[in-house]
Structure 1
């Protein structure tokens, strides 16, 4: 993955608001719904999501800036210490290279680690038993797939490829433990585990709160005044929603059971649609004239409560 700052088109000193604004602009530009049948645009959209997922998290951003993690969120090798098992290395998603030696041929710790390897090899036939080490991996999943559940293919440090289940409702930085998929043990002891940290991309429109999803939906002036039937996106596709007559900005409509399935609690969250009344983008002289004439006989105080003593 490219440098997340370059992906979003911001500098390394960009503020959190600058990063958010850049993400929203690019997400709208590259959203698959706006570019149907364009796999290249879909890849660009995923890249933008991944960059925002990293830079919108203060801890991840700081760690990336310090060089502790790479652009995908995976741990970088520690240059002051190497794993005692040759070729282990932090794993990534299928297609990445695991076990690279950051020192190359000039390794100041070669004697120490070579000794460790010799002791490891000798232990296999000396009756010594020790469970194998755990190995960490990182996988990035789009927001909707994390909400609904999905699968990801992972290449282990051993070269083995497996499919992992990402449960519905998985949150960002959730860690999955895969028993026995780490490094082999000594003297017949069990293998270690694979620890897979799931990173969930942000979404340009949906916001998650517990098991519920919240979405701001723009409506026209006529839809708000007269009422209307509109279509809104949800986790599993578009649904029809009825806008009541005389709806104000801030009116919230609840779609029961359209949120996230919580397997542990055996409940399903809801989907909340908040209406935002929008005037035409360009000034409309006819509308302005009508409102001016209408207001002369239909005055009303919308800030009355703000002026009352608390």
Structure 2
């Protein structure tokens, strides 16, 4: 299958500057890097394609050859072997910025993700939680060395350097040593507990401080609390993702809180002072006479003080006029007398929305019958 144009691979014009090439490659690397797409063969292929394109276009001499002759400039017999897309070391300077180090040495331990469920009150006020994490921990029998006697010997393949070099056409390539994984040392006498891995399956209990104001999806990073790395490498990190449980009263929207406040028909008609809950205790709001369902009252500063803004949001109380149930005989009689007063034009004056609705219904049927 023919190769795609290198400029097309990186999404840049043929007169792109070195800085534009670098930015384009970083975007490509961030999108397709294997660490971000584990097990995705298509992403891995795209990543290699991006690396190959950048290796050529970032070198002035290779770029001139490519601009003049295209891919043929790197075919056997034209001027040397083509670029090797699987040699990570060529791009170490870029991955040092993007991922904290390319493939110049052994990788650190894997990061761990943990989902922590909180009540709304805990998320708003902040809390300290103890969590239990299944992980790969450093083997205590060999102190993480993987060696029964805790002694490591220089790798015979790379002579302790952790890197090997080889020739590919006119280019000299370098990559992590395949025998020692880039560590530069090997185990001659494997530990009987971890079988030379330097790590064992374990569980650990951690105390996590959750800052006040966290919300769904917020992540807290605990450096060095991830899986232990291979012998001689640092551990990964632990990322605790917050999930806030649904609350029976409040709904959070950013820094604001929303709730519904049910009131009786008499309170809505005559006006009243009602107590409404907040996360800091009850407050009073004054309901004016003739309040309808859907009216929203705003209570400033009774929302959430987020971890980002540090400015508290507001509480929005939506009024819901509740129909009374389980009426006594006396209550039913009073309501019947009250309903009897809503007749003729007097009734229309007291129920403007109902009157408007009925007028609309009458007009609709008039149109239907006349058509």
Q: Give the TM-score of the pair, scaled to structure 1.
A: 0.53
Task: Give yes or no for contact 1:129–1:187 (8 Å, CA) kept in 2.
Answer: no
Alignment deviations for residues 110-143 of structure 1 (CA, whole Å, 9 cap, x no partner):
xxxxxxxxxxxxxxxxxx7431111222221112
Identify which of 253, 266, 272 aligns with 2:316: 272
Identify which of 109, 113, 122 aligns with 1:132: 109
Q: Partner residue of 1:299?
A: 348
Q: Partner residue of 1:150?
A: 127
Task: Give yes or no for contact 2:272–2:287 (8 Å, CA) kept in 1.
Answer: yes
CA displacement at 1:224 relative to structure 2? 1.2
Task: Give yes or no for contact 1:259–1:269 (8 Å, CA) kept in 2.
Answer: yes
Q: Partner residue of 2:258?
A: 214
CA displacement at 1:149 relative to structure 2? 2.3
Bigger CA drift: 207-216 or 298-307? 298-307
Structure 2: give runs of 5+ residues left out of the alignment. Answer: 1-104, 135-201, 364-371
Task: Give yes or no for contact 1:211–1:262 (8 Å, CA) kept in 2.
Answer: yes
Task: Give yes or no for contact 2:214–2:307 (8 Å, CA) kept in 1.
Answer: no
Q: Partner residue of 1:253?
A: 297
Q: Partner residue of 2:244?
A: 200
CA displacement at 1:216 relative to structure 2? 0.8
Distance in 2, Cα, partners of 1:269 & 1:206: 13
Task: Give yes or no for contact 1:252–1:272 (8 Å, CA) kept in 2.
Answer: yes
1:164 corresponds to 2:208: yes
Alignment: residue pair count: 182
CA displacement at 1:295 relative to structure 2? 4.1
Q: Secondary structure at the residue paired with 1:183?
A: coil
How do 1:70-109 residues align onto structure 2 when only pairs under 5 Å count? none
CA displacement at 1:228 relative to structure 2? 1.5
Q: Secondary structure at the residue paired with 2:335?
A: helix
Distance in 1, Cα, partners of 2:204 & 2:236: 15
CA displacement at 1:262 relative to structure 2? 2.1
CA displacement at 1:171 relative to structure 2? 2.4
Distance in 1, Cα, partners of 2:241 & 2:224: 16
Alignment deviations for residues 185-204 of structure 1 (CA, whole Å, 9 cap, x no partner):
33433211112222211112
Q: Partner residue of 2:226?
A: 182
Q: Secondary structure at the residue paired with 1:139?
A: strand
Task: Give yes or no for contact 1:136–1:195 (8 Å, CA) kept in 2.
Answer: yes
Alignment deviations for residues 165-196 of structure 1 (CA, whole Å, 9 cap, x no partner):
22333222433221110122334332111122
Structure 1: give runs of 5+ residues left out of the alignment. Answer: 1-127
Alignment deviations for residues 44-102 of structure 1 (CA, whole Å, 9 cap, x no partner):
xxxxxxxxxxxxxxxxxxxxxxxxxxxxxxxxxxxxxxxxxxxxxxxxxxxxxxxxxxx
Task: Give the structure with higher Rg (CA).
Answer: 2
Q: Partner residue of 1:287?
A: 335
What RMSD in Å do the two structures reach over aligned CA positions?
Answer: 2.5
Distance in 1, Cα, partners of 2:213 & 2:307: 8
Distance in 2, Cα, partners of 1:278 & 1:137: 43
Q: Partner residue of 1:28?
A: none
Task: Give yes or no for contact 1:143–1:202 (8 Å, CA) kept in 2.
Answer: yes
Task: Give yes or no for contact 1:138–1:198 (8 Å, CA) kept in 2.
Answer: yes
Task: Give yes or no for contact 1:169–1:260 (8 Å, CA) kept in 2.
Answer: yes
CA displacement at 1:294 relative to structure 2? 4.3
Q: Secondary structure at the residue paired with 2:317?
A: strand
1:225 corresponds to 2:286: no
Distance in 1, Cα, partners of 2:281 & 2:241: 28
Q: Give the TM-score of the pair, scaled to structure 2.
A: 0.45
Q: Secondary structure at the residue paired with 1:277?
A: strand
